[in-house]
Amino acid sequence: MAESASVPRARDVSLPTATPDPYTPAPVRRRPYWQTLLTVVVLVAAACLAGRHWSVLATGAHRLAVADPGWLLAGAAAVAVTWPCSALAQQGAVPRMLPRRRLVAAQFAASAANHVLPAGLGAGLVNLRFLMRCGLTAARSATALAVKATAGGAVRGALTAVLVLACPGVLRLPHVPAGCLAAALGVAGLAALLARRLRPPWRRTLATLLADVRAIHARPIRAAALWGGSLAFAVLHAGVLIAVTQAVGLTLPPAGVALVYLAASGAAALLPTPGGIGSLDAALAFGLTAAGAPGAAAASAVLGYRLLTVWLPLVPGLLVLVVLIRRKAL
């Protein structure tokens, strides 16, 4: 009996599947807990100060209720123009053309989001998403935001220097204890050490930023939009505070009020509170009283400035933000 030739059957060979290593920790997404903690501390401190000086705040609110409506309308008009100026500066920081209406709407929505999230995070996220929806990469969008922020900081610094020379004696720095100075120097030293460890990424980011700045300034129209929009934005916000001080009857010179605003906004930027709530209020009140305003009048001016720049546009800005998200513009 002949043996039948056995044909070897092909074996089913499957590639080994990668199994997760139980000893490898899963990546943990870091959250800025220190920003949240500092925000809570500042807000609690602001609430304590408000409770301590509640009579002054109540008098200031009553004084604001009987303020000159014409000056308040002028301040509201200045606030309305700040969003097109912000859009102009953002357009100047981007080499390509952006849709104008959506750009202005994005700035309006970003200002509302900035009053909800700390340290300008809301405005940055809204503008970042808008630029990416317009076709820019994430890196180019972040660079455009950095260019706009750098131009805004440079404009504010130049305006502050000019007004300090024009209005000597308006700014009176408080006495800072030696322990606070030592702590600030220690934090600065620690930041310098961390910057040295992160030098290669920072070099690449700085190189990209400088390349975009050169590309923007190679086109005079873009450079004019960037610097002109940044200058108009800062001047208009100072004009809002000037209008409110005139409405409540403060007899401070407009240049001095503008200097107080620039110095207070620069100091409040160091504390990551939503929209500078608490930090900017305290800095403005301190600056106005140091410039010679009574406590109740300074409180009414700060309340009026906050009413025009934060509370009245907040709900419409959030509604515009929701519309932009639903239309996938963000």
pLDDT tens track for 72-99: 999 999 999 999 999 999 999 998 899 9
Residue located via tokens 């053309």: 97
Structure pTM? 0.74
Q: Give the tens place of pLDDT for each residue, 96-146.
A: 899 999 999 999 999 988 877 765 678 888 999 999 999 998 888 998 999
The mean pLDDT of the chain is 77
Contacts of 300 (CB under 8 A, 6+ apart): 59, 60, 61, 63, 64, 67, 248
- Among 244, 250, 260, CA closest to 304: 244
pLDDT for residue 281? 86
State how far the Cα of 268 lies from the Cα of 120, in Å rounded to an integer: 11
